[in-house]
Amino acid sequence: MATPLQLGFQDAASPVMEELVHFHDHALMVVYLISSFVLYIIITLVMMKLTNKHAHDSQEIEIVWTVLPAIILIVVALPSLRILYLMDEINNPHLTVKAIGHQWYWSYEYTDYKDLSFDSYMTPTQDLTPGQFRLLEVDHRMVVPTESPIRVLITADDVIHSWTVPSMGVKMDAVPGRLNQTTFIPSRPGVYYGQCSEICGANHSFMPIVIEAVPLKHFEDWSTSMLEFT
């Protein structure tokens, strides 16, 4: 989850998010280099005493400031495209979960074997126990097994919502009448939070998403117990 005054990304919990963080670090370094170079040039130009009223053209500098930006763009674009294609790779998922957005809660369906479906409402602030996170906790989390490709099919029942878990690097709109697919692989066990990312009415800020990634055996126990419970 995000912490107050946080500037950077949350810790990555999937291989794709790890790649995105590394790419972001790389692109940001390019941005710092260009910005500091430009700032230096501007300050130098303003502070120096030399003036030249007769400069008309210069082939050399024109070539440099055409070729160098092209190289910089390639240096940024190649890793970017690599990750774009990585995200699109065909992986046969181990599990399919459906996430359906309602006003103002999510519901999850696990129907590969038996029919398991449940609603996931935000825990109201007055009902939180010490150590829980305000506006992020839910009554029933979406539990998934670790190190398995999970396919999530996202749709909505009423208005457009958006399902996201930043630490997994996934975000997908929940559109009524449409089934949007995204996949992710939880690398490690843990609890990962997200919030609805498309304005959907009065309680748009109060319908969070919580994923609990657990080893497969625990996932099987959980789904058995949920089937008995619901």
Partner 1 sequence: MEKVASECPARRVTKLRATALRRAFGACVDRLAEKMADMTEKIQNYRTAPFDARFPNTNQTRNCYQNYLDYHRCNKALAAKGLDVSPCDWYQRVFKSLCPVGWVEKWNDQVENGTFAGRV
**CA 154 – CA 145 distance, rounded (Å):** 19
Min dist CB 88 to partner 1, Å, is: 9
Q: Which stretch binds partner 1 (CB under 8 A): 43-51, 65-73, 176-184, 197-205?
A: 176-184
Q: Which stretch binds partner 1 (CB under 8 A): 42-50, 56-64, 152-160, 219-227?
A: 152-160
> Could you give the string, one character per residue 81-110, with x where binding to partner 1 holds by CB under 8 A and - elsewhere?
---------xxxxxxx-x-x--------x-
Taking CB under 8 A as the criterion, which residues in 122-151 touch partner 1?
151
- Of 2, 83, 135, 153, the residue at the interface with partner 1 (CB under 8 A) is 153
Taking CB under 8 A as the criterion, which residues in 13-72 touch partner 1?
none
- Of 38, 179, 199, 227, the residue at the interface with partner 1 (CB under 8 A) is 179
Q: Say if residues 28 and 9 touch (Cβ distance below 8 Å).
A: no
Q: Which stretch binds partner 1 (CB under 8 A): 24-32, 48-56, 134-142, 172-180?
A: 172-180
Structure tokens at 129: 């126990």
Min dist CB 160 to partner 1, Å, is: 15
Q: Say if residues 84 and 99 touch (Cβ distance below 8 Å).
A: no
**CA 137 – CA 47 distance, rounded (Å):** 55
Min dist CB 153 to partner 1, Å, is: 6
Query: Which amino acid is it at 223?
Result: S
DSSP state at residue 5? T
Q: Does 115 bind partner 1 (CB under 8 A)?
A: yes
Structure tokens at 19: 């790649």
Burial code of 149-180, b = ≥16 C-beta within 10 A, e = fewer?
ebbbbbbbeebebbbbbbbbbbebbbbeeeeb
